[in-house]
Structure formats: C-alpha cells, structure tokens
Structure 1
Amino acid sequence: MLDTQSLLPAIKITTGPNPTHTILWMHGLGADGNDFVPIVQALDLPPATPIRFLFPHAPIQPVTINGGWKMRAWYDIKHNDLSWQEDETGIRNSQRAITALIEHEIQQGVPAERIVLAGFSQGGAMALQTGLRLPHKLAGIMVLSGYLPLPHHLAREAHSANISTPIFMAHGTQDPVVPIALANTSQQHLREHRHSVEWHEYPMAHAVCDPELADISRWLRKVLQ
C-alpha cells in the first residue's frame, strides 16, 4: 500500500458520488492546484459520469530563470530555451510523485484506463513525461501550452502500455513562454515514435481560450467513455 502521507497535496472535486473516472490536472510554473479549479464548471462533460478531479500542488523550490525565487514548480528552469540544460533530476522526481497519485487512484478503485493525465505548461510537460512511461494504459494525456521534456530519452523509456493512448495537444500561436515551435517539434517527435496526437492551435498567448475549452470538452467526452 502507498503511504498516503507522502502524496502530493491536491484539491479534490467530484462531479458525483462514487467517481468512476479521474482527471489529474497539473498546474503551470508559479501557480498551484487552484489555478484550474474553475475549469470544472466550464467543461461540458456528461452529468451521468461521476468524475474525480485532482489538482495537485507542485513542490516549492527555487527557479533559476526567476532569479532563484522559491515558488511552486515541477522542476527548475535554467534558460529561456526550455530544451537546454533541462532539470532532469527535478523532472524525474515530479514524475515519481505524480505516478504515486495515479497509483493511489487505482487503489481507490478507478482503473488506469479511466484516468486522464492533464496539465498546463510545465504541468503539460509532466503529463507527457509521466503518462508515456506509466506501465498502465491511461484513458488519455492532455497537454495545454506544454511540450515534451527529455525527448531523447523517450524511445528508450516509453512504455508499450501507452503507445496508443490518445494525446491532446493545444497551443497558442503567440505564446511567448513556451514557443509554439517547441510544441510543434514535440508533437512531431511523438508522432515519429508512433504516438497518436490530436493537435490544435489557437490565436492566443500562454493561456486557455473558449474555443480550446470546447475542443477539450469534446475530446474528454470521447476518451472518458
């Protein structure tokens, strides 16, 4: 059994009693689990499907690119070029922590194939990092304004259980934080390694927009069946 005392703290919202599905949603750099709580009401999901939303809080740690200030972060960022000198140790530590949350959901009675791993920005990067290496097939992986971290390790580390797991990637064409070129390179890399990616672009910056929410709702209805 997992030690629940060591699990990441998380905000839990259920849309009905005895949830049959889980959406585990990671926030971006400097935010916390509260950041995407309002999205639960904005999503058009089947009322007959009881869902547990989990919004975990990343650990507080110094972030080099922000002058070493301590904030909630899934891993350190050292440069504006997010693909340069990645914090592999931090990424893998957060991967283990997120995997523990997934394992706890499975122990709570929600099978992995009914769990969606989602995230925004850094959280989206962690959704890919964790989900593609998980030895249990997930319902889906959702990446909003994010990218694929440690891409050169993917071929060796990706687990066959999630080779066909649907991946939803969405990005703003004017994103100044995570350049759309990096996200595009990420989705191409995923496709080259036989992963199924549904790609969307929107005329926005580093944010979430209404047309994107409509696409997210449609995709979630499909993968949460």
Structure 2
Amino acid sequence: MKPALTAINATSKQSASVIFFHGSGDTGPNALEWVRFLLGRNLEYPHIKVIYPTAPMQKYTPLNGQESNVWFDRRSVNIAAQESKKSMSQCYETVHQLIEGEVTKGIPANRIIVGGFSMGGALALHTGYHLNYGLAGVFAHSSFLNRNSIVYESLQSGSQQKVDLPELRMFHGERDTMVPLEWGLETFESLQTLGVNGTFNPLKNTLHELKKSSLLDLQQWILEKLPPLENDLHNKL
C-alpha cells in the first residue's frame, strides 16, 4: 500500500525530488514540522519537491509487538542483531512505489535524493545501495545498518556496478545514547570499504535528534547534487 504523503512542492517548475523518511514511531507531517521548527522555515527550493512519507502502522518487536509507524520490523535496536529480511522486502515495495511515482512524473532517478532520520536513514541506505536505482545521493541522520546487512552483500556481489553509487552524507550526534555514534561510524566505514564515497559528520553536544546545523549543511548539499537545470533557469527569466 502506498504511504500517505506530505510534501513541500517546488516553488517553481519541479525538476528534482527529495524523499525524507522519518524515524520509528513518527510520521511524515511530524518530520516536516521538526525540520520547519529547526530552520524557522520549510526546507524548500524553486525546482525540488521534498516528500515526507508516513510509514504504515505495523507490529514492532522492540515495543513488545505493539503497533507503531515503522518502515520495517527489527528483532532489536542493536548493530549486532539479525536483519529482518522479510520485513525489509515488504518495505522495498513502498520505496519502489515512491520512486516510480516521481519517475512517472518525469523526474529521472539521477535527479532524486533519498534520506532520513534514524530508521528512515537506514531505509535510505537500503534504497541507495541495495535496491540500485542510480540515485543522485543518499543521506542518513543518526542511523546505522546491521553488521550482516543485505546492503553489504549487494555491494560485495558487484551487482551495484551497473550504476554509479550515489554519494553519501551521514550525520550523527556524539552524545546519542539510542543509536551510539560508533554504530553510525562503523556503518559509514563499512560502506566506504565497499566503494561508497561520502562524508561522516559527528555533531557535538547532540543526542538522538536533528540539528539546525546539520539541516543547513544538508540543504546546501542537496542543492549541489540537484542543481537547477538550464530549463529551470530559463523559466525564471
């Protein structure tokens, strides 16, 4: 089932898209409000639509099986835990629908960035480096991959060589107690070893949270990866 979508439309003609996946237990509208609160305005561009989908309600094992808005199930929130491949494969269909929805509107995959916070960032890493869409970029804030993740298997198998691997931007709070900085750094270094280029940005005095500084950095990076097309500029003249 296609997730509920909240979006900040391009203020002029759209030629690119960003899909921002929220963390576990959150919603798209809440993620949008969090970004807006920190920036004092929307994350918006003349030519880029920013989409905040909402994960479905489903049973979540770390909450003793209670239902929550989560993209996938986890056996536990631990880097050493086994990935729930059945649950992951179900959420891949959601991702596919989201990306295909943009492609059918005329936005090519290499003009799409995916990213997210916490669990949403993990889903973005699966999207960029396992599902193999040839995206423009991937960002992950306060996120990690399990040590035996299928993402690493995909990169090791060489199946990703058909397309250029998207550049990665990771951010992580140095005082994060929910997802320790070491998990994020280990994930980044593992991806780097397998051919992913990017940056890992530790955030001082930061818990498991978004920060204005990281959003401003992200805003600039998105513009660098998805610059206006010549047609966009002509439309403004």
TM-score relative to the length of structure 2: 0.84
Question: 1:102 Cα shift?
Answer: 0.4
Structure 2 counterpart SS, 1:216: helix
Does residue 217 in structure 1 map to residue 228 in structure 2? no
**Identity percentage of aligned residues:** 25
Of the three residues 68, 73, 76, the one matched with 1:79 is: 76
Question: 1:79 Cα shift?
Answer: 2.0
Distance 1:103 1:65, change over 3 A: same
Aligned to 1:67: 64
> Match of 1:176, as an amino acid?
T
Aligned to 2:153: 153
Does residue 108 in structure 1 map to residue 105 in structure 2? yes
Does residue 19 in structure 1 map to residue 21 in structure 2? no
> Match of 1:212, as an amino acid?
S
> Match of 1:141, as an amino acid?
V
Distance 1:143 1:157, change over 3 A: farther
Does residue 164 in structure 1 map to residue 161 in structure 2? no
Structure 2 contact 125–140 (Cα < 8 Å) conserved: yes
Structure 2 counterpart SS, 1:37: helix
Q: Deviations over 1:6-35 (max 9, x none)?
A: 422211220324311111010000001112
Aligned to 2:140: 143
Aligned to 1:190: 191
RMSD: 2.1
> Match of 1:208, as an amino acid?
L
Segment drifting more, 160-169 vs 177-186 = 160-169
Does residue 177 in structure 1 map to residue 178 in structure 2? yes
Aligned to 2:95: 98
Distance in 1 between the 2:42 and 2:4 partners? 27
Distance in 2 between the 1:63 and 1:26 partners? 17
Aligned to 2:233: none
Distance 1:158 1:69, change over 3 A: farther
Distance 1:34 1:45, change over 3 A: closer
Structure 1 contact 26–55 (Cα < 8 Å) conserved: yes
Structure 1 contact 9–56 (Cα < 8 Å) conserved: yes
Question: 1:85 Cα shift?
Answer: 2.3
Question: 1:143 Cα shift?
Answer: 0.5
> Match of 1:210, as an amino acid?
K
Q: Deviations over 1:159-215 (max 9, x none)?
A: 225543111000001111111111111101111111102110102010011221221
Structure 1 unaligned regions, length at least 5:
1-5
Distance in 2 between the 1:27 and 1:83 partners? 23
Segment drifting more, 116-125 vs 133-142 = 133-142
> Match of 2:209, as an amino acid?
A
Aligned to 1:206: 208
Segment drifting more, 148-157 vs 25-34 = 148-157
Does residue 10 in structure 1 map to residue 5 in structure 2? yes
Distance in 2 between the 1:194 and 1:188 partners? 10
Does residue 123 in structure 1 map to residue 120 in structure 2? yes
Question: 1:104 Cα shift?
Answer: 1.3
